[in-house]
A and B are shown apart, each in its own frame.
Chain A
């Protein structure tokens, strides 16, 4: 080993900076934190009680600069990377998980996917509207019979007919499905090829062959509309295909890696809010003549929540940083596949632990549906299931570990 001169302050500052948000990211987070707290947080209660989505909310988010985080500025976006997009997700989810979920489905799953994989023409056609909020986006992958085995069991098909494709099938648990204008839909164009016969299409929801079969009634994230979508001889032009025919699997898989890293951030934002609520409550709530925060058993829970939040954050940020600059078509295999699956697995379970303990600290009041902690508690489980169940995440990790 070479002996070197003692590191100077600049070198030490660089080491710290490597684990910190950039000044630009900090600025964006501060802005989003302020508007999310002032505008989105007060919407929680009614959205949850009435499963209500405020009609002009996407347009409003567009005006506030919350949409198209990764889109170039000339198309109406913010020109940021996926890491910064995740920070926006994290912050929105902290103040309103339902809006965070809808925002993520729109901005990452739909918009960013089109941006990464779409043609120039497709990007120019859809991205500006998605950035302004005039268009609402969604992504359709999961089907009634295709959950963990999303690719292999996919039954939705798209058959070439002249200059069109005709899509038949259904998609379920689709976030924003009931309100979307534009849906990125996966369908099999060559059933014989299994997962390698999947293509991605942009479907406009005013298409006569498209319909929302039902709006689903979720336990948590209420207000963010989730639906079952049906395609009946839904005819789309061949130009609606994203990428080449039968190349959908790489679009899905690289998109899924990024989605998992984003899900980790959503969990971090919500877990951080659970910690804040638990801290506030533990300081104010008095039993046996003193605040319950003065009891070691409560202190132990608070400390453990903090540890989960900070661990999930550190791991999530590392995974996100690794996603930035990932070339088109990369992902879906190797180190990044394993890392994003693990960060997402960890964050989902960390949020579960954090929100369960935070709810517990709230005692009886935490069991009441109209408290913020109870809404957060009901947001639990989804993120151990969506974007690949914890089990699918483990299968991915184990495969990569055993490949070497």
Chain B
């Protein structure tokens, strides 16, 4: 019956295609062989080896969404998400530094900057000779990032003079290029924000401190200070006072791709939990033979695959999102929902993973403990869970 419907290749799968799976497998193999063994030392020292970005660049894993003419890989957004997931699975910390560089900084420049800026900065960012970061959050501006932003950029001839500080900036301590948001018209509130490319050797820029994180150690995070930091006016990305569109559409993409940082971490936690449950013996048999442990494993799998399904759909819906689009409507709601779910699922999975590992999971130098310490911030960064829910309810209650 229904022969014509059987195994029809062009029916939607609502999941990875075979080609996408092959991309994931290839990336996974490389990331595990190159990076997985570095995790313990990165966690101890909280340093990122200088060889990592060039290596990622050499293998074509930087500038994932950037056109080849600028040195990028020319991939679609979903492919970038798939690579992010596999990288995070092999190394959560490198996955975080990579996404801050490649999505928050590089892709934002690629999407919003003019050709001169693209030609100047993208080739170096794509081959790994330049490291990128993005500066939005400030000591006094977290959830209310736009409204409470105090960093300013004052026009002075053909320069802007930046003053203020940015905090919790991934790659901040090692970045060569920071995409910085600052208020060019403070009286206009969120509508008076502009985006700038700041080279970190500019006088007036400094790394006030490298911060000491609980997890994702090895991915350097810092506080940045701008003191009469003079940036050429041509380094503005987008239009004067046009920063809010850049931020908001960038944030939608950020939320969509960070789902995959979370999913990589959660999948790895499940993998090592299954291994542990099969080998660990108590009461004369593997703990995997007990139903309470089986229930935990089943719940972990279910949460991961549920969240992944939504994340993948969300990534697909981000394809072809135009510059300045996003920050409102269906995609704004969907990306907020996907990251909420991915983060909540990951927290749940990590908690159970440590539970299955028992006492050993509480030891800092185990892989599961390193993963466990990453989880918390996924519910905080790129908009807290609360901000995500405000976005969703705001959209749901619109158009009454």
Chain A interfacial positions (CB closer than 8 Å to B): 1-7, 9, 11-13, 15-22, 70-72, 79-81, 83, 115-116, 123, 279, 282-283, 293, 296, 299-300, 302-304, 306-307, 310-312, 314-315, 317-318, 320-322, 324-325, 327, 338-339, 342-343, 345-346, 391, 393-399, 401-402, 404
Min CB gap A322→B, angstroms? 7
With A279-B396, A394-B299: A321-B74 Cβ-Cβ less than 8 Å: no
A40 CA to B71 CA, complexed, in Å: 58
Residue of B with least CB distance to A338: B301
- Of B11, B278, B319, which one neighbours A324 at CB under 8 angstroms? B11
Min CB gap A325→B, angstroms? 4
A19 CA to B309 CA, complexed, in Å: 10
- Of B78, B291, B301, B313, which one neighbours A314 at CB under 8 angstroms? B313
B14 contacts A18, C-beta separation under 8 Å = yes
Residue of B with least CB distance to A293: B397
- Of B8, B27, B307, B317, which one neighbours A311 at CB under 8 angstroms? B307
B17 contacts A393, C-beta separation under 8 Å = no
Residues of A within 8 A of B15 (CB): 318, 321-322
With A22-B12, A314-B312, A394-B294: A4-B340 Cβ-Cβ less than 8 Å: no
A19 contacts B312, C-beta separation under 8 Å = yes
Residues of A within 8 A of B75 (CB): 4, 7
A20 CA to B334 CA, complexed, in Å: 14
Residue of A with least CB distance to B78: A15
B309 contacts A315, C-beta separation under 8 Å = yes
- Of B5, B74, B298, which one neighbours A401 at CB under 8 angstroms? B298
Chain A binder among B59-67, B156-164, B223-231: B59-67
B14 contacts A321, C-beta separation under 8 Å = yes
B333 contacts A306, C-beta separation under 8 Å = yes
With A15-B316, A311-B310, A402-B288: A5-B74 Cβ-Cβ less than 8 Å: yes
Residue of A with least CB distance to B13: A321
B5 contacts A393, C-beta separation under 8 Å = no
**A–B complex contacts, Cβ < 8 Å, 12 sampled:** A16-B320, A18-B12, A18-B14, A80-B5, A81-B2, A115-B2, A283-B397, A300-B386, A321-B12, A321-B15, A338-B301, A401-B297
B332 at the interface (CB under 8 A from A): no
Min CB gap A388→B, angstroms? 12
B176 at the interface (CB under 8 A from A): no
A398 contacts B73, C-beta separation under 8 Å = no
Residues of B within 8 A of A398 (CB): 288, 294-295, 297-298
Min CB gap B80→A, angstroms? 11
B309 contacts A318, C-beta separation under 8 Å = yes
- Of A9, A12, A21, A342, which one neighbours B301 at CB under 8 angstroms? A342
A339 CA to B309 CA, complexed, in Å: 11
A391 CA to B292 CA, complexed, in Å: 10
With A318-B15, A345-B302: A5-B397 Cβ-Cβ less than 8 Å: no
Residues of A within 8 A of B202 (CB): none
Min CB gap B2→A, angstroms? 6
B120 at the interface (CB under 8 A from A): no
B214 at the interface (CB under 8 A from A): no
With A299-B393, A314-B313, A324-B11: A2-B67 Cβ-Cβ less than 8 Å: no
The contact string, 1 if C-beta is below 8 Å from chain A, for chain B 264-298, is 00000000001001100000000010010011011
A299 CA to B26 CA, complexed, in Å: 43
B376 at the interface (CB under 8 A from A): no
The contact string, 1 if C-beta is below 8 Å from chain A, for chain B 1-45, is 110011110011111010000000011000000000000000000
Min CB gap A404→B, angstroms? 8
Name which of A80, A304, A312, A321 has the most chain B CB atoms within 10 A of its CB.
A304
A4 CA to B72 CA, complexed, in Å: 9
A161 CA to B292 CA, complexed, in Å: 46
A345 contacts B14, C-beta separation under 8 Å = no
B306 at the interface (CB under 8 A from A): yes
B76 contacts A15, C-beta separation under 8 Å = yes
Closest 3 CB pairs of A and B: A398-B294, A299-B393, A394-B298
Min CB gap B222→A, angstroms? 30
Min CB gap B329→A, angstroms? 14
A11 contacts B11, C-beta separation under 8 Å = no
A303 contacts B388, C-beta separation under 8 Å = yes
B337 contacts A307, C-beta separation under 8 Å = yes
With A4-B75, A299-B390: A13-B13 Cβ-Cβ less than 8 Å: no
B2 contacts A300, C-beta separation under 8 Å = no
Residue of A with least CB distance to B277: A402
A397 CA to B2 CA, complexed, in Å: 29
B12 contacts A19, C-beta separation under 8 Å = yes
Residues of A within 8 A of B89 (CB): none
A310 CA to B312 CA, complexed, in Å: 12
Min CB gap A211→B, angstroms? 32
A393 contacts B298, C-beta separation under 8 Å = yes
B305 contacts A339, C-beta separation under 8 Å = yes
Name which of A303, A338, A394 has the most chain B CB atoms within 10 A of its CB.
A303
Min CB gap B207→A, angstroms? 32
B309 contacts A311, C-beta separation under 8 Å = yes
A16 CA to B330 CA, complexed, in Å: 14
**Contacts A72-B2, A303-B340 supplied; 14 other A-B pairs, CB < 8 Å:** A1-B27, A7-B76, A15-B319, A17-B12, A22-B11, A79-B5, A302-B396, A306-B392, A310-B310, A314-B312, A321-B13, A324-B8, A342-B301, A402-B294
A314 contacts B400, C-beta separation under 8 Å = no
B389 at the interface (CB under 8 A from A): yes
Residues of B within 8 A of A19 (CB): 12, 14, 312-313, 316-317
With A321-B14, A402-B274: A315-B306 Cβ-Cβ less than 8 Å: yes
Residues of A within 8 A of B388 (CB): 303
Min CB gap B269→A, angstroms? 13
A81 contacts B5, C-beta separation under 8 Å = yes
Residue of A with least CB distance to B293: A398
Residues of B within 8 A of A307 (CB): 337, 340-341, 392
A22 CA to B316 CA, complexed, in Å: 15
With A18-B14, A279-B396: A1-B68 Cβ-Cβ less than 8 Å: no
- Of B59, B76, B334, B397, which one neighbours A302 at CB under 8 angstroms? B397
With A307-B341, A401-B301, A402-B274: A3-B295 Cβ-Cβ less than 8 Å: no
In the complex, chain B residues 180-197 whose Cβ is within 8 Å of any chain A Cβ: none
Residues of A within 8 A of B72 (CB): 3
A12 contacts B392, C-beta separation under 8 Å = no
B297 contacts A3, C-beta separation under 8 Å = no
A302 CA to B61 CA, complexed, in Å: 39
- Of A7, A9, A16, A302, which one neighbours B393 at CB under 8 angstroms? A302
Residues of B within 8 A of A116 (CB): 1
Min CB gap A60→B, angstroms? 25
With A22-B11, A339-B305: A310-B337 Cβ-Cβ less than 8 Å: yes
Min CB gap A253→B, angstroms? 18
Min CB gap A284→B, angstroms? 10
Residue of B with least CB distance to A283: B400
B8 contacts A325, C-beta separation under 8 Å = yes
A5 CA to B302 CA, complexed, in Å: 37
Name which of B13, B27, B305, B390 has the most chain A CB atoms within 10 A of its CB.
B305
Residues of B within 8 A of A321 (CB): 11-15
Min CB gap B162→A, angstroms? 33
